Amino acid sequence: MLGCTPTSSGLSPCNGDFPTLLEALDYAAQGDTGLNFYSVRGDLTAALRYGVLRDESLDLARRLLGRGLAPAERVAIIAETHPDFVRAFFACQYAGLVPAPLPLPQAFGGRATYEAHIRRLVVEARATALLGPAALIDWLRPLAAELGLRLCSTVAELADIVPSWAPMPSTGPDDVAYLQFSSGSTRFPIGVVVLHRALMANLAGILSHGLQIRPGDRAVSWLPFYHDMGLVGFLLSPMAGQISVDFLATADFARRPQLWLSLISRNRASISYSPSFGYDLCTRRERQASALELDLSCWRIAGIGGDMIRPAVLAGFADAFAPHGFDAGSFLASYGMAEATLAISFAPIGLGIETDIIDLDRLEQEDIAAAPGSADSRARTVVLCGRPLPGHEIEIRSDAGEPLPARHVGRIFVRGPSLMLGYDRRSEETSAVLSRTGWLDTGDLGYGLDGALVITGRAKDLIIINGRNIWPQDLEWTIETLPEVRTGNVAAFSIDENGREVLILAAEARSLSDETTSETLTNAIADTIRAQHGLDGRVVLLQPGTLPYTSSGKLSRSAVRQRYLAGSLTAASRA
């Protein structure tokens, strides 16, 4: 009978202290831990010990080389949550090839949209081969033929290839480990070049500093392998720390989020991460999870990252699952991005979510994060994301590039050994964000507080009306307090209309009734924003499932804006 890999590796812990990813796997292969894959019903479908992964990846590497692929060539891999993706990724490492994980189809969009997206990514990656799951291979083969790829195959089909027995190429710290497309790479994809040196620096920082790995740790993840938090955070990091991981496919989590918590409970996992929306989804379905008799007392690190952290959502989750043993002190805020491999900063372990309440008027008008002046002041609660990883630096800078003092909001810059080499073949884009002295412009805005980093939003999403800096998430979270509006399905942005900045509020409505028509809900949204923020906005009610999201589940405000300007947003039906 199939059994999952044990929690204990039987090895002396070595938390990412290796020159390359291959040496990390070679060490983990000597122990008993590994990767476990579960179905939507919660059944274990595959258990892949790290030693088996190493052997099977080496065999697959020889077959890729036997097929004629040469070291340094790029291999695009559809990143299904399946052992075959993991085998293919590590086979590329052993063969000296450069893997480029690509996304699965979105829930909404269709075949044509997906094929066009994959085509852009394959071209941008300069891939000469494309590997994918059996369910998608018939979609991929015409595309591969059109692009002249030398190989388009499932991993299983590669078993018929005669392996090459030539010596494997050597891999060093300055070789490319993989190509990472950021979650927002859709229309104009840009690949981040990640070296082994940067990857291992980040893995060591995550394991020893951020998560402070200890004996008995086990991880659970539903995060996609094509996103940096899923790939680096919950595939490569656990392997580099010799930790077993239990995986649930992202689509299966969306269908049955309670399985995530069930796996944590029954396998006594201690580490798992999610963006805010994952915790919110579980809270909304808490009644279903209750029937599983959960015991979440083992969960020592409930990580939060990948998007703006929503304190109210986390508080709701903690309240809902406290009867199941969940400790709110296990929440761990963090900050990162693909250009820094993954992690940049972590909050202290064991303190839960630490917040700062700031005056929204001073934030908008002065770019200063000050305490509210009175009980009547408009306020915003933000989350402290901790200090940078060892060897890394963070600066908050003004528009003129000068470092800012504490509580002054500016652009976030970071420097350290985990940073990317640059964007692949994109020297202009690279020089725009990465200075010669090694400082990366993250594109995020925030401020410092007692040495900790606080994120206030993305610079490109900032709305400027009448000299006020309006943070779109503040407007979105206000609208979501209306019961007729779908939680997490609101987008605020602005457009230029005859030289005037116009605020647009796009919201997905729940089923409308005789009592709540589209007109009354539109008026309610407009009145709420006017009352709480002093702004007039144009409200657009949408059908459920209309708003576009990135591959990691983040709302894409820029895509909503483009669709609005193109007149392609689907309005909700009127009662």
Residues 364 and 503 in one domain: no
Is 517 a member of any domain?
Answer: yes
Is 389 a member of any domain?
Answer: yes
Q: What is the pLDDT of residues 331-386, one digit of tens each?
A: 999 999 999 999 999 999 999 999 999 999 999 899 999 999 888 888 999 999 99
User: Could you say which of 424, 459, 494 is where a domain stops?
Assistant: 459
381 CB-contact burial (10 Å; exposed 0-12 / middle 13-18 / buried 19+):
middle
Residues in contact with 231: Cβ distance below 8 Å, sequence separation at least 6, in sequence order: 79, 101, 178, 180, 225
| pLDDT value, residue 186 | 47
| pLDDT value, residue 512 | 60
Q: Is there a contact between 446 and 367 (Cβ–Cβ < 8 Å)?
A: no
| pLDDT value, residue 162 | 96
Residues 183 and 194 in one domain: yes
- In angstroms, the Cα distances linking 215 to 5, 8, 15, 233 are 15, 7, 11, 18
- Please count the residues of the chain: 575
Is 36 a member of any domain?
Answer: no
| pLDDT value, residue 514 | 53
User: Could you say which of 199, 234, 255 is where a domain stops?
Assistant: 199
| pLDDT value, residue 436 | 95
What distance in Å separates the CA atoms of residue 121 and residue 140, rounded to the nearest whole number? 13
| pLDDT value, residue 575 | 37
Residues 436 and 557 in one domain: no
38 CB-contact burial (10 Å; exposed 0-12 / middle 13-18 / buried 19+):
buried
| pLDDT value, residue 305 | 85
pTM score, whole prediction: 0.88
Is 5 a member of any domain?
Answer: no
Domain holding 190, by residue range, is 50-199
Residues 447 and 479 in one domain: no
CATH number of domain containing 540: 3.30.300.30
Is 193 a member of any domain?
Answer: yes
Residues 423 and 348 in one domain: yes
Residues 380 and 285 in one domain: yes
Q: What is the pLDDT of residues 172-198, one digit of tens each?
A: 999 999 999 975 544 568 999 999 999
Residues 419 and 471 in one domain: no
CATH number of domain containing 399: 3.40.50.12780
Is 19 a member of any domain?
Answer: no
Low-confidence ranges of the chain (pLDDT < 50): 185-186, 573-575
Q: How many domains does the chain have?
A: 3
| pLDDT value, residue 460 | 81
Is 328 a member of any domain?
Answer: yes
Residues 538 and 424 in one domain: no
Q: Is there a contact between 48 and 35 (Cβ–Cβ < 8 Å)?
A: yes
What distance in Å separates the CA atoms of residue 184 and residue 554, rounded to the nearest whole number? 8
Residues 452 and 313 in one domain: yes
Is 31 a member of any domain?
Answer: no
Residues 56 and 193 in one domain: yes
CATH number of domain containing 129: 3.40.50.980
Residues 469 and 410 in one domain: no
User: Could you say which of 143, 173, 199 is where a domain stops?
Assistant: 199
Residues 295 and 177 in one domain: no
